[in-house]
Structure 1
């Protein structure tokens, strides 16, 4: 009779010892669920960013005009520096982008740079796209994308250029080509007063030497002769 209480106490102690692993297992499961939820949120956020950039809101039906070889006589030769050109670009874009919800900047340093933003989960993400400029034989200027700075997001230049092409308000003489990572400044389509047009002659950003010629159209010459 004396041994019976001891056996019961032993059983109770054994039951208490068996509960501890169950509590530990529940705690581990909670951490596991929390970790999986966090991973799922990260994956969903990355997926949202990728879809936001690559989605096509509507087809781009903007016609691309053919290159126009213009004949004329150079009447003004312009040799300028980056500071002066940047002031002109800033003035032009400020006026051109009035009323636009999405704005951007383009300026020249030792490289040509496009600075803009796009929104991810309601927060603006800033990017810098760097270009090397090349003067083409027809007097137009090609900007070849060479690098991209966008914080910690690892997005390719092609996708950023698609975003620029789709969402930014661009002049009709600016042609974005995401597939070959270029932007073409179609000076042959840039209209000036009285038919005057511009041809780029030289762009050397490192030596701060930018040269362009303003031409008088050949038709105007014929009518004035």
Structure 2
């Protein structure tokens, strides 16, 4: 009888030990999957698959007096931006939006592991001495993810189609709007004079192309 009881106790202990081992293995497997997914996402989010190089064009100096000076506001500029981007992105599979509020805001969607993630990247705009516009990244909102602005800008640069006169510099966390490289259909140049988003005061000048100035 004693031997049977001892054998029964050993069997119960062995069963209990086996159950604990199964739970331990399951827990470790689940932990491994979670760590693997986190590592995979971080690698995909921070990896730069290719180096994107743009041929930086020399600054086009706009000489002489402007043919027209325009005072505008954010609502009018946003309408122009929306019209331009709708036409520019009509054949693109992914879209982004850019608008002026108290800051400049670039927004769009990434797909990470098949799930869309919306980002909001905020910039402070500055007019450069040559009449272009530099956007200095100020803050980033991308759901609950905590990613550096530099890496997100690299992802944006690779994921979306931008005009040739838009120059990204993720290392400096800036975007340069090369208005000196932008042409209207009639050939007019655009030069930024002032951007004050808080007071809603935006001023630009239009210049004739050089061959028509003579």
Tell me the equivalent position of 2:86.
94
TM (norm. structure 1) is 0.88
Larger radius of gyration: 1
Q: Could you tell me which runs of 5 or more consecutive residues in structure 1 were left unpaired when the two chains were aligned.
A: 1-8
Select 2:134's aligned residue among 136, 142, 151.
142
**Structure 2 CA distance for aligned equivalents of residues 216 and 164 of structure 1:** 34
Q: Deviations over 1:142-162 (max 9, x none)?
A: 111111111122211111111
Tell me the equivalent position of 1:35.
27
Alpha-carbon RMSD across the aligned residues, in angstroms, is 1.7
**SS of equivalent to 2:17:** helix
| 1:60 and 2:35 matched | no
How many residue pairs get aligned? The number is 214
Q: 1:194 to 1:94 in 2, by over 3 A?
A: closer
Tell me the equivalent position of 1:4.
none
Tell me the equivalent position of 1:81.
73
Shift of 1:27: 2.3
Tell me the equivalent position of 2:96.
104
Tell me the equivalent position of 1:198.
190
| 1:167 and 2:159 matched | yes
Whether the aligned pair in 2 keeps the contact of 1:73 and 1:217 (CA below 8 Å) is no
Whether the aligned pair in 1 keeps the contact of 2:62 and 2:207 (CA below 8 Å) is no
TM (norm. structure 2) is 0.92
Whether the aligned pair in 2 keeps the contact of 1:72 and 1:217 (CA below 8 Å) is no
Q: Deviations over 1:123-175 (max 9, x none)?
A: 11111111111111111111111111111222111111111112210001000
Q: Could you tell me which runs of 5 or more consecutive residues in structure 2 were left unpaired when the two chains were aligned.
A: none
**SS of equivalent to 1:206:** coil
Is the helix fraction higher in 1 or 2? 1
Whether the aligned pair in 1 keeps the contact of 2:48 and 2:154 (CA below 8 Å) is no
Shift of 1:44: 2.1
Shift of 1:57: 4.1
Tell me the equivalent position of 1:127.
119
Tell me the equivalent position of 1:213.
205
